[in-house]
């Protein structure tokens, strides 16, 4: 289960964006009308920017999410009242499922097999809605207008609300237990924003502002995703070497760092395979992410990790690194074979040192920590040595 702190931090940005637009709408009477006149242009411009950046960074799920929203917006603006009413009905029921599908499915190349399958899915989805709008079926509409709740959610139909609750439940489960927390929290807020835009359809400018908020959340998510790809390790979710170099430039006059390495990792890979080795790296990285003492862990490469301690000397950081070593050493790791499950224990070695006046940069400190790590390896492993 994801930690409440991690959920809160990831939910904060999309919640802030949605709340900001809600505040703007609440104070609409104090805002010049001319600003609301440009909301549509802002929505189209931001949506096209999302499509371009998504294409450039090969983040195609955002393209599949934003294009149907643009079409819904255009339909509300240019369809006749009868056709717009039908579009409202079908969009309120199908688009939540659409969001859930593109949250759950992994990112693929646009013209790969799965990418083409997604294109076909979206085209069929759009074609079906257009067909039902231009060739309405009274029997289908009667079924979709079924009454399920005692409460009135006008202009939303009860079935739309039931679908929304179901999809929100799935997204909430992904927020609590899913690996890609940044996506799950953002899509959770996207769905709430979408339904808010539909529910307040009769409120002047509400739908337009809600759709602009929707596009803004997607754009910010795209920027956050690009940052994650650049600075975080995909396998372990720890900050990578580039993030470490950036943070090293911000260190003060006093700091310490630890170079850490998983003992006998190559032998482990040769014995159990690289897939199991990757699982070990994830388990160890999860422990490193919770290091105490204000330390920040990075995956340096392979089975090597670095921990930076701002404003800490060697003795202080040594205690925290050694506590981490002990915690890892007593944590069992299950290796599954064809016939049985074997429990093994993983050990790490580490070298810790702090900066001095003679050090020109943090890489000189890292070199000394690496030398201390080498001594820990030679001394028998599963220990921490001060540099």
**Residue 37 near residue 205 (C-beta atoms within 8 A):** no
**Residue 192 near residue 172 (C-beta atoms within 8 A):** no
Counting Cβ atoms within 10 Å, is residue 126 exposed (0-12), middle (13-18) or buried (19+)?
A: middle
Phi, psi of 297 (to 5 degrees): -100, 145
Does residue 303 have an active-site annotation? yes
Instruction: Enter the DSSP assignment of 145.
Output: T
Question: How many Å apart are CA 328 and CA 283, to the nearest integer?
Answer: 9
Cα dihedral 82→86→91→92 (10° resolution):
100
The catalytic residue among 303, 304, 316, 327 is: 303
Question: How many Å apart are CA 184 and CA 180, to the nearest integer?
Answer: 6
The full DSSP string for 235-279 is TT-SB-HHHHHHHHTT--SSEEEEEEEETTHHHHHHHH-HHHHHH
Name the region of 255 (left: φ>0; alpha: ψ -120 to 50; beta: rest): beta
Phi, psi of 336 (to 5 degrees): -95, 120
**CA angle centred on 316, ends 314 and 319, rounded to 5°:** 105
Question: How many Å apart are CA 320 and CA 380, to the nearest integer?
Answer: 20
Question: How many Å apart are CA 108 and CA 70, to the nearest integer?
Answer: 22
Question: How many Å apart are CA 177 and CA 170, to the nearest integer?
Answer: 11
What is the pairing mode between strands 332-336 and 304-310? unpaired
C-alpha 232: how far from chain center: 12
What is the pairing mode between strands 341-345 and 384-386? unpaired
Catalytic residue IDs:
303
């Amino acid at each position: 289960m994801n930690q409440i702190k991690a959920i809160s931090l990831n939910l904060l940005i999309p919640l802030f964006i949605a709340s900001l637009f809600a505040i703007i709408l609440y104070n609409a009477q104090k805002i010049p009308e001319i600003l609301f006149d440009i909301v549509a242009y802002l929505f189209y411009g931001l949506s096209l920017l999302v499509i371009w950046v998504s294409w450039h960074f090969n983040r195609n799920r955002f393209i599949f999410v934003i294009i149907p929203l643009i079409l819904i917006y255009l339909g509300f603006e240019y369809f006749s009242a009868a056709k717009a009413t039908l579009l409202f009905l079908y969009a309120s029921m199908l688009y939540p499922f659409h969001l859930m599908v593109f949250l759950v499915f992994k990112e693929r190349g646009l013209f790969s097999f799965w990418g083409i399958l997604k294109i076909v899915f979206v085209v069929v989805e759009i074609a079906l809605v257009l067909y039902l709008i231009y060739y309405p079926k009274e029997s289908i509409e009667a079924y979709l207008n079924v009454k399920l709740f005692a409460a009135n959610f006008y202009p939303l139909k009860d079935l739309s609300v039931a679908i929304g609750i179901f999809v929100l439940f799935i997204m909430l489960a992904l927020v609590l237990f899913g690996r890609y927390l940044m996506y799950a929290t953002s899509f959770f807020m996207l769905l709430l924003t979408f339904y808010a835009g539909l529910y307040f359809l009769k409120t002047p400018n509400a739908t337009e502002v809600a759709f602009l908020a929707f596009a803004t959340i997607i754009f910010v998510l795209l920027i956050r995703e690009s940052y994650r790809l650049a600075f975080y390790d995909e396998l372990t979710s720890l900050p990578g070497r580039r993030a470490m170099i950036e943070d090293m430039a911000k260190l003060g006059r006093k700091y310490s760092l630890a170079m850490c390495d998983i003992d006998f990792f190559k032998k482990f890979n040769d014995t159990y395979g690289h897939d199991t080795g990757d699982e070990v790296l994830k388990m160890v990285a999860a422990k490193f992410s919770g290091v105490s003492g204000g330390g920040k862990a990075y995956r340096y490469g392979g089975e090597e990790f670095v921990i930076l301690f701002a404003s800490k000397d060697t003795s202080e950081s040594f205690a925290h690194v050694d506590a981490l070593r002990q915690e890892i050493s007593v944590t069992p790791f299950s290796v599954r074979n064809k016939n049985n499950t074997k429990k093994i224990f993983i050990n790490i070695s580490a070298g810790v040192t702090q900066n001095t006046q003679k050090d020109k940069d943090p890489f000189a400190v890292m070199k000394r920590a690496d030398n201390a790590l080498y001594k820990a390896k030679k001394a028998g492993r599963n220990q921490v040595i001060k540099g």
